[in-house]
Structure 1
Amino acid sequence: MVKKVYLVLILSLVLLISFSSMYLCQSHSEPQKSKSEASNITIFLTGDVMFDFAVDPLLDSNVDVFGDLTPLFKMSDLVVINLEDPFTNSSNNLKTVVPVKADPEHAHILKDDNVNVACLANNHIMDYGESGLNDTLRTLETYNITTVGAGSNLQEASKPAYFAIDNRTIAILNFFDTTTFQEFSESELPPATANTSGFAPAEWNVIKENVEQAKTQADTVIVVFHYGNEYSTSPNEYQQNLSRKCIDEGADLVVGSHPHVLQNVESYKGKLIFYSLGNCVFDQTNPSPKESMVVKLQDLNGNLTAIIYPFRITNSCPRFMSTQNAETFLKTIKTQSNADIKIEDGKGIINLDNS
């Protein structure tokens, strides 16, 4: 009888080991996501950042002018800003109407707050001419901050910047549309040419060539524009056509700045266009630009989600709204937009078509 019990126990143990082995083999033989496909990337994009006027003394006093955004930036893989003024000590301004500049000593705040990319294609980068641009490029290079949208010639100014992050490649491109600046001569707003320095102009042949190139090299292509009419809460036809054509050519996201106020969010062919993010760090007395937002692009294994963080500019710095005020703000943006914005805990969440 005892032998039979032992025999049953032994057979049970053999069967248990056999089933366990079969299960383990099956688990290991199931297809796993390859390391090259896995990703978890966070990218922040902002509107206008300007270190002149009332912002300058704040920086002199060691105020972190990125305010409530700083902790988010420091935990991000990539932070992209539109830098609205050159870093230079030059006093030889090309543009006579509201020339702006930033003290090069203050550039460290960008590095301190994990800003990785400065978009320079805008109506102020050439305020102090080629010397102002060169000072800016040298200053940002000192802090290992990548620049896009301006350079010593057209090829350098318009080329994409590439970032290899967590097994994926991100491309950032930046262009400035001068069609709403007819009052300025080309000598005051000089675009880059084949052999002269300046900003990357929003000319379709230039944009198309570089977006096409970026699409062959990157998993995600982001185009940043400086365009539109100041203080207009709606994009103009040129903005719309330009942005949609970028997506037609393969861009995954288009982000705009310059109007100083927010414009709608458009879903186009499953991709997103943020026509204007408004201001970020900015000294402006007009009350209308105080409410603004930044966008976080989350890439989780190739699935893209855009998250809107609303804030209000207080003493030139971004400060988050209360959850209730943020949700009221987001409902207004949602009403003006065709994008499917889900409002949760004071943030707007939009899933992109990843096909």
Structure 2
Amino acid sequence: MLGRSVGVRLEVEGAGVAFAGVREILANADIAVANLESAVGVTGTPAPKAYTFRAPPEAVDALALAGIDLVSLANNHSLDYGPGSLAETRALLAEQGILSPGAGPDRAAAHAPGLIEREGLRIAFLAYVDVPVERGGFDPRTWTATDEAPGVAWLDIATIAEDIRAARRSADLVVVMLHFGLEWELEPSDKQREQARAAVDAGATLVIGSGPHVLQPLEPYGDGLIAYSLGNFVFDGFWDPANDSAILLVELTAAGVAGYELVPVTIVDGIPVLTDSVEGTP
């Protein structure tokens, strides 16, 4: 979340500040992806909800400098400043060559995979959201994209299975990014397990979770790997254990997951920095 105090630092100190502590490890990755939990830009007005996030345009420069190739927009903040702001966010990302699955001008765009090819391996990234009604009564489900209206890709097991099968026709591997679960819970809920495992059962090789704001366990499952929640990353205003985080490094081959490693990170004043260990890292 590159707004609030982090957004001010981007404007004052420059785009390089946000990922300075982890840039080297991100730059060494063939593909780097993240959940972008805010609108980006200057347009729109805040939605009637308890928390609304919008980052300045410099946030996209920060993502590009860090080597981020793709961000999920399937979350409960991508439309915080309305459909016009979502369009601006997607346009700013596209200008930097950053893919943004999970939200769009209609259902087809929101459900369309982001496709990245590296060393002959073509990978499709799909993104979905399923989070509870927020404090104050706002229901993120009302942002679900339809054939006629912009919005997010809502997490539905049957639909995900369809999308994964379709993506496999044009990709060697499918990665699914899920913004789901309950905030502050250190263990995934039964619903999270059902949803993530269903994605693997349908053909996903890797499931990357966000939403709880804290780290949750990794789970090798079937032919895939599930990271139920990687916690926060660039995010201010939280306290331990929400400042404990990690970068998940995954080696992918045509056969699937060949290896993985969690690199511990701690968040200092909203900015991630590498650390030797993080209490509670699974």
User: TM-score scaled by structure 2?
Assistant: 0.92
Alignment of 1:3-152 (within 5 A): 50-60=1-11, 61-62=13-14, 63-152=16-105
2:260 maps to 306
Please say which of residues 227-236 and 284-293 is displaced more in the overlay.
284-293
Contact 1:158 1:206 in 2 (8 A): no
Cα displacement (A) at 1:301: 6.5
1:316 maps to 270
The CA RMSD over aligned residues, in Å, is: 1.9
**Is 1:239 the equivalent of 2:192?**
yes
Contact 1:59 1:106 in 2 (8 A): yes
Higher relative contact order, chain-length normalized (CA < 8 Å, sep 6+): 1
How far apart, in 1, do the equivalents of 2:139 and 2:172 lie? 38
Cα displacement (A) at 1:257: 0.2
Q: Secondary structure at the match of 1:279?
A: coil
Ranges in structure 2 where 5+ consecutive residues have no aligned partner: none
* AA partner of residue 140 (structure 1): L
Q: In structure 1, which of residues 163, 177, 193 is the aligned counterpart of residue 130 of structure 2?
A: 177
Cα displacement (A) at 1:181: 4.3
* AA partner of residue 314 (structure 1): V
Q: Deviations over 1:258-306 (max 9, x none)?
A: 1000111112114211110001111023232111111111135646211
Cα displacement (A) at 1:191: 0.9
Q: Secondary structure at the match of 2:40?
A: coil
Cα displacement (A) at 1:206: 2.1
How far apart, in 2, do the equivalents of 1:316 and 1:184 lie? 26
Contact 2:128 2:153 in 1 (8 A): yes
Q: Deviations over 1:82-107 (max 9, x none)?
A: 00101121351123311110111331
How far apart, in 2, do the equivalents of 1:287 and 1:119 lie? 25
**Is 1:225 the equivalent of 2:178?**
yes
Contact 1:123 1:189 in 2 (8 A): no
How far apart, in 1, do the equivalents of 2:131 and 2:184 lie? 16
Contact 1:95 1:189 in 2 (8 A): no
Q: Deviations over 1:12-69 (max 9, x none)?
A: xxxxxxxxxxxxxxxxxxxxxxxxxxxxxxxxxxxxxx11111012212125211332
User: TM-score scaled by structure 1?
Assistant: 0.74
- Judged with a 3 Å threshold, the aligned counterparts in structure 2 of structure 1 residues 138 and 104 are, in CA distance, closer, same or farther, namely same
Q: In structure 2, which of residues 200, 210, 216 is the aligned counterpart of residue 263 of structure 1?
A: 216
Q: Secondary structure at the match of 2:143?
A: coil
* AA partner of residue 259 (structure 2): T
- Judged with a 3 Å threshold, the aligned counterparts in structure 2 of structure 1 residues 297 and 242 are, in CA distance, closer, same or farther, namely same
How far apart, in 1, do the equivalents of 2:32 and 2:26 lie? 6
1:38 maps to none
- Judged with a 3 Å threshold, the aligned counterparts in structure 2 of structure 1 residues 222 and 300 are, in CA distance, closer, same or farther, namely closer
Question: Number of matched residues?
Answer: 278
Contact 1:262 1:277 in 2 (8 A): yes
- Judged with a 3 Å threshold, the aligned counterparts in structure 2 of structure 1 residues 124 and 171 are, in CA distance, closer, same or farther, namely same
| Structure number having the greater helix percentage | 1
